[in-house]
């Protein structure tokens, strides 16, 4: 975006400057303490990640290297899975055995044509550093790599789904589990093992699963056009078939209204994970870890609002503006209360855009209300004055009564008001020429015993 855009959108520019100038990382990476192999790993991290590289490098030093290596391992696995130039005979064994590959000294792969192929060509640096981390962390990474590798291999071999797309919501969520839910599981185990998160999170896999499902579903909803161009269909037929007869109809301008309603139902399906995501983040103990998980979640709810009832998502890949992204990052790195306000704000925006003609209008409205209600249970907004008035005694009319001190104050106020008003009236009369020279004398004549008063009749002698 050019300078002209920011000239007409100063709030966007302010958010960018605020993030760049005022953001203070909780922890900072110190390259001077790192080996050449580890420095190369961080270079590969910056090369392969646009979204997570910065926030990973601000993590607590206990988790900085394990999370970096975990990301690179999964990125390498994903690069193999995405490479359509590899034959199945070569791809499937690599995916299923990748958890063993990460223990092979000097392993490299030079046959990929994907954009992140350099990571695979220099993967021996990752293997070298993996052998230096604590054993519990390595075992978690190894376990997650095995589960994800097998899951990816299963989908790569599922030619029916590749040709016909995802059929049911259950299949859709299983795919999201393998590509994102397992990532969340691995990260949660790292957080709990390092004692930077509540151990109870490890006992609530549904919370961890929702974190991954929410992010992956948001990406799928947003990338519908890009995925279709690449020959992939992740929208489940169970949803899109309610709105159009054929998948291609979603991109037919004459059926745009139905396509927008389909996207709305996909957004509704993603929003159902919101409450559990917030509940999960309430269990994070370390600020840097909270920032790490909160920023993507804040971006996700904002992206859902952007694509909701937005026909442009069917024509191109839409993204939130850089200014909005910086504002969300600034707010998401404060605390859970501030993050909840981000959720509340975007839930209200979704509700405002909701169309009564949409078949899911009521369900969407209900889900937005559930998000606000859940936030209210975490951080109630109560007015102390209203709470106080609720405990006041009621009079015979059922209205709050008045105690003695309030009555005295009211009387004093009335008297002061009468004195002030009288003074104003007398002063006004004097300005208009009224004479008050004989006022006191006239008043004294009216009083008993005054100089001009008639004698009072007190007996029969005067009759």
Active-site position among 222, 235, 308, 346 = 222
Between CA 315 and CA 304 the distance in angstroms is 16
For residue 138, what is the DSSP state?
H
The two most distant CA atoms of the chain are separated, in Å, by 142
Contacts (Cβ under 8 Å, ≥6 apart) of 224: 234, 235, 250, 263, 313, 314
| Active site annotation includes 309 | no
Handedness of CA 448, 450, 453, 455 (dihedral sign): positive
Contact 29, 42 (CB under 8 A): yes
SS3 content of the chain, % helix, strand, coil (to 5): 70, 0, 30
Residue 206: Cβ within 10 Å count: 11
| Active site annotation includes 337 | no
Active-site position among 292, 308, 343, 346 = 292
Active-site position among 232, 256, 285, 345 = 232
Q: How far is CA 23 from CA 17, 50, 55, 67, 341, in A?
A: 10, 18, 12, 22, 19
| Active site annotation includes 137 | no
Exposed / middle / buried, residue 199 (Cβ in 10 Å: 0-12, 13-18, 19+)? exposed
Give the pair of three-digit tokens for residue 402: 């008045």
HSE-CB for 298 with a 13 A CA cutoff: 27
Exposed / middle / buried, residue 334 (Cβ in 10 Å: 0-12, 13-18, 19+)? middle
Active-site position among 109, 138, 175, 343 = 175
For residue 400, what is the DSSP state?
B
For residue 285, what is the DSSP state?
-
| Active site annotation includes 155 | no
The residues that are catalytic are 175, 222, 232, 292
């Amino acid at each position: 975006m050019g300078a002209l855009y920011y000239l007409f959108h100063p709030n966007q520019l302010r958010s960018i400057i605020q993030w760049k100038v005022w953001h203070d990382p909780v922890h900072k990476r110190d390259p001077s303490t790192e080996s050449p192999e580890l420095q190369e790993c961080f270079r590969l991290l910056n090369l392969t990640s646009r979204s997570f590289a910065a926030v990973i490098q601000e993590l607590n030093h206990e988790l900085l290297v394990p999370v970096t290596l975990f990301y690179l391992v999964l990125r390498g696995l994903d690069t193999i899975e995405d490479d359509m130039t590899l034959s199945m005979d070569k791809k499937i064994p690599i995916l299923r055995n990748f958890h063993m590959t990460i223990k092979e000294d000097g392993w490299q792969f030079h046959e990929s044509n994907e954009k992140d192929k350099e990571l695979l060509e220099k993967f021996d640096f990752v293997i070298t550093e993996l052998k230096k981390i604590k054993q519990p962390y390595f075992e978690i990474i190894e376990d997650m790599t095995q589960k994800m590798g097998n899951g990816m291999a299963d989908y790569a071999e599922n030619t029916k789904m590749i040709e016909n797309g995802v059929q049911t919501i259950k299949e859709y969520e299983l795919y999201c589990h393998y590509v994102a839910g397992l990532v969340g599981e691995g990260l949660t185990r790292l957080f709990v093992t390092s004692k930077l998160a509540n151990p109870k999170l490890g006992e609530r896999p549904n919370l961890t699963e929702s974190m991954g499902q929410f992010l992956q579903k948001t990406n799928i909803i947003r990338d519908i056009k890009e995925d279709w161009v690449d020959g992939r269909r992740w929208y489940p037929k169970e949803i899109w078939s309610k709105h159009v007869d054929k998948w291609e109809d979603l991109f037919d301008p004459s059926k745009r209204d139905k396509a927008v309603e389909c996207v709305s139902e996909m957004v509704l399906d993603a929003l159902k994970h919101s409450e559990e995501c917030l509940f999960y983040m309430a269990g994070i103990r370390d600020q840097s870890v909270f920032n790490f998980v909160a920023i993507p979640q804040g971006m996700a709810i904002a992206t859902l609002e952007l694509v909701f009832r937005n026909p442009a998502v069917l024509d191109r890949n839409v993204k939130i503006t850089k200014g909005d992204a910086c504002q969300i990052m600034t707010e998401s790195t404060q605390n859970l209360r501030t993050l909840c306000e981000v959720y509340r704000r975007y839930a209200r925006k979704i509700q405002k855009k909701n169309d009564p003609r949409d078949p899911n209008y009521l369900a969407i409205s209900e889900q937005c209300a559930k998000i606000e209600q859940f936030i209210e249970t975490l951080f109630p907004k109560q007015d102390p004055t209203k709470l106080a008035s609720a405990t006041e005694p009621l009079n015979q009319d059922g209205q709050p009564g008045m105690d003695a001190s309030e009555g005295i104050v009211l009387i004093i106020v009335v008297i002061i008001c009468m004195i002030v008003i009288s003074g104003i009236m007398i002063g006004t009369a004097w300005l208009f020429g009224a004479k008050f020279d004989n006022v006191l004398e006239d008043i004294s004549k009216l009083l008993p015993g005054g100089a001009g008063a008639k004698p009072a009749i007190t007996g029969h002698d005067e009759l």
